[in-house]
Amino acid sequence: IRRNAGNGLKMHPTVKIAARFPHPIDHGDVPMHRVTEFAPSLTIGGSASRRGHIAMALADTGLPFDAALADWENISVYYAAIRSEGSGGVLAVPGLASPVVTYKLTDGDLSRLARGIVHLGELLLAAGATELHPSILGGPVVRRVDELGAWWDALTRSRANLMTVHLTSTVRMGEDRQRTGADSFGRVWGHRNLRVNDASLLPDAPGVNPQAAIMAIAARNCHEFLAS
């Protein structure tokens, strides 16, 4: 099934910083606070920061990080996520076990990501961080505010180590068959008993965590299914 399926992939491209503090950090839960001053184009918050997460974040620079990891109890990971203008696709290729996933950032996306990682660095230094490791290949480790400017030019398509946990929009829902892969209740066009009921239905990545929207749409679609 390929018609309007797999194209239009949207997400929230995200940069990270592993920040070292002069004291141990609580690594129990993911922080629930976010900075929304620059929303919806940019949001800032905290990430999962177990020892393995910290090791991955420190490794994003491609620089030696053994000394920093030895002090991992004092390090936590933070993110800056953008609402992207770019898009991509998920394509099933005959002969390949896994789909081919593509995503193209726009120049505006790169600019927002650079702005985001600099703002995040400013915030962490103001909060008392003593050392910042960016998710930029070869990106300099920063210890002072006047060093943050080096990240602007360093964050390029080839050097940015980006991540996301919000994937949406590959089977968009709606009533226009020419533009959507499923109807307003997730029924795939042309297939009576095939339904999609997840983030694929969202027409775009909303710039915030889409969990509430996904759950509301899923509950609505289940009610409709049971009623019919």
Which secondary structure element, helix H or strand E, spans residue 55, and what is its range?
helix 51-59
Q: What is the pTM of this model?
A: 0.91
Question: CB-based burial of residue 65 (10 Å sphere; 0-12 exposed, 13-18 middle, 19+ buried)?
Answer: buried
Taking the CA of residue 21 as centre, how many other CA atoms within 13 Å lie in the half-sphere pointing to its CB? 16
Dmax of the chain from CA atoms? 62
Taking the C-alpha atoms of residue 180 and residue 84, their distance in angstroms, rounded to an integer, is 20
Taking the C-alpha atoms of residue 136 and residue 114, their distance in angstroms, rounded to an integer, is 10
What was the pLDDT predicted at 31? Answer: 84
Taking the C-alpha atoms of residue 54 and residue 146, their distance in angstroms, rounded to an integer, is 25
Token pair recorded at residue 194: 């095939």
AA letter at 111: S
Confidence of residue 2 (pLDDT cuts 50, 70, 90): confident
User: Which residue(s) pair with 132 in the sheet?
Assistant: 19, 142
- Quick one: average pLDDT of 52-56? 94
Per residue in 139-177, pLDDT tens? 999 999 999 999 999 999 999 999 998 999 999 999 999
Q: What percent of the chain clears pLDDT 90, i.e. is strictly above it?
A: 89
| Integer Rg of the chain from CA | 20
What was the pLDDT predicted at 32? Answer: 82
Q: Indicate which residues carry an active-site annotation.
A: 166
What was the pLDDT predicted at 33? Answer: 86
Cβ(16)–Cβ(77) below 8 Å: yes
Taking the C-alpha atoms of residue 183 and residue 77, their distance in angstroms, rounded to an integer, is 40
What was the pLDDT predicted at 140? Answer: 94
Token pair recorded at residue 14: 């995200």
Sheet holding 7-11, edge to edge: 100-104, 87-91, 7-11, 167-168
